[in-house]
Amino acid sequence: MEIDLMTGSASWSEAAELARTAQAAGFSGLCFTETSQVPWMQIAAAAMAADELYFTTGIAVAFPRSPMVAAAVAHELAANTSGRFRLGLGSQVKAHIERRYSSEFDRPAARLRDYVLAVKACFRAFNREERLSHDGDFYAMSLLPTNWSPAPHDHEMKVDISAVGPVMTRVAGEVADGIHVHPLHSMHYIENRLLPGLTAGAARVGRDGSKIDLLIPVFACPGDTPEERAPYIARTKTQIAFYGSTKNYAFQFDDLGFEGVSATLNEKLKAGDIQGMTDTITDEMLDHYAVIATWDELPNALVSRYSGAASRLIMYMGRDEILRDEHQRARWAEVAGAVAAA
């Protein structure tokens, strides 16, 4: 089980600094989100600065990009990192795709399934395994002259997708090499919803669902005193509240007996009551959605919860503390080393 650090928008020099720091601290890799900034140039800068880290996108937004563009960028990053890159794709949400990116969002699960197959067809064509020939319900590609094709390489190219609900989870089982689990999750969700859906999707096409990697972001809240843990817990409660206000995620609460929480969060969000949203998340909920422990106990807590499920654990928080606080950097290094060793 590898341990990565999540990061978001940053300058190229900041990405390089984080990569050097994360590598020195013993992290296995960096997971780049795509929000206000595309991830590709940050990954290139980070890869130039740290020659051992593994890089993932968790996730890059799929639909506004042609599958050819996504495949070409991923192929180039894999070539230049000696295979230390895997492409994570996601559908994002309807409002962003249609109103921010001016792209189509209809039938997102079926569209993303076709998208992944198209990207993989591009990879095979880039490596001269076969001529480009993909004719799906949403994407059709059949032209790739040699002069326009990237140089082949022999690095493994994995494509992961984000999935929460049953339809997208089955799609992951059918076509993806890994699944980016939503940060808002419990082990009950992973064991009783995600894995059965993944297995069912894989079985539909004759795949072995156990071979599909789980990349799992974790709300880890370390500290040897309540005061030290408090900033992590406050940020975790706020983030859980924002995620939980999405009506499609209501089952994450309902399955655990916290019925009506998502509706309450949504109402408070509409009212602009951010503090009220945060206060709605109880310590009992945190026991399911976060890992709260002393520094010495955190590695065992992470391994105990996720061993056998996660291929890569991604620390949702910790980036800022690692960069600015020498003490926290040293403690996170101990955590990373212990998890990797376990």
What pLDDT does residue 186 have?
A: 98
- Cβ atoms within 10 Å, residue 79: 18
Q: Domain ranges in the chain?
A: 2-222+294-341, 225-293
pTM of the complete model beyond 0.75: yes
The yes/no answer on whether domain 2-222+294-341 falls in CATH 3.40.225.10 is no
Closest CA to 78 of 126, 113, 14: 126
Q: Are strands 54-57 and 2-7 parallel, antiparallel or unpaired?
A: unpaired
What pLDDT does residue 211 have?
A: 95
Q: To the nearest whole number, what is the mean pLDDT of the chain? A: 97
- Average pLDDT of 307-322? 96
Please state, in angstroms and rounded to a whole number, the distance separating the CA atoms of residues 286 and 307: 20
Supply the angle between the helices 226-244 and 261-270 in degrees, to the nearest 10.
Answer: 90
Per residue in 61-79, pLDDT tens? 999 999 999 999 999 999 9
Cis amide linkage into residue 216, ω under 30° from 0 = no
Per residue in 130-184, pLDDT tens? 999 999 999 999 999 999 999 999 999 999 999 999 999 999 999 999 999 999 9
Per residue in 181-229, pLDDT tens? 999 999 999 999 999 999 999 999 999 999 999 999 999 999 999 999 9
The pLDDT-based confidence of 320 (bands split at 50, 70, 90) is very high
- Average pLDDT of 87-113? 96
Q: Is 56 helix (H, G, I), strand (E, B) or coil?
A: strand
